[in-house]
Amino acid sequence: MVLSTRFEEALIFATRLHARQVRKGSSVPYVSHLLIVAGMVLEQGGDEDQTIAALLHDAVEDQGGRSTLDEIRRRFGDRVAEIVEECSDAFTFFKPPWRKRKEAYLAHLPQASAAARLVAAADKLHNARTTVADYRALGEAIWGRFNGGREGTLWFYRAMVEALQAGGSFPLVEELDRVVSELERLASAKGNA
């Protein structure tokens, strides 16, 4: 597949939307996450719409809510907007409480489109890999970065695996399961030390 100028436009749009954002607990530009998620989607055979949605998967939650979703629809079409919408757990600046928001997101995930589940799996796989690497470097201090703290974060990652598996497993979900199991093992070993 050859990516068109739509992908280039989406890359510029995503970079501008997230220009002032960094990864939790670091100085790494947030766009690095978007690029990695898009790369994973491409490597798994995702088409251009899915890859554009991967670049924009956090735009609605983090950069403007429904008005940003409307702009995505205008610029990139209904399919991209629908994937992004399915990958979003909040559409307002003041987000609902963390646990309630995550539970609602998990409840809809098994019925989400295959395209949205692919983007969601890539997103959570990159997040989980980063969490494992940071946990190895920082230990228990890492949990302070997350709204759910230690227990909530571990619960959410495991629940993500289960929700994605309920919709039908595929290689990224299997890899996510392995990475989450590693995180659980590390946290358990540290908790029992």
Per-residue model confidence as pLDDT tens digits over 146-173: 999 999 999 999 999 999 999 998 999 9
Q: Within 13 Å of residue 26, how many CA atoms lie on the same side as its CB?
A: 16
Please state, for a pLDDT cut of 90, what percent of the chain lies above it.
81
Structure tokens at 109: 């995930």
Domain that holds residue 137: 5-191
The mean pLDDT of the chain is 93
Distances from the Cα of 22 to the Cαs of 63, 110, 116, 158, in angstroms?
Answer: 13, 30, 24, 25
Provide φ and ψ at 22, rounded to 5°.
Answer: -125, 165
CATH number at 46 reads 1.10.3210.10
Per-residue model confidence as pLDDT tens digits over 14-23: 999 998 888 8
In this prediction, residue 27 carries a pLDDT of: 84
Residue 10: pLDDT over 90? yes
Q: Is the dihedral of CA 175, 180, 186, 189 positive or negative?
A: negative
- State the total domains in the chain: 1
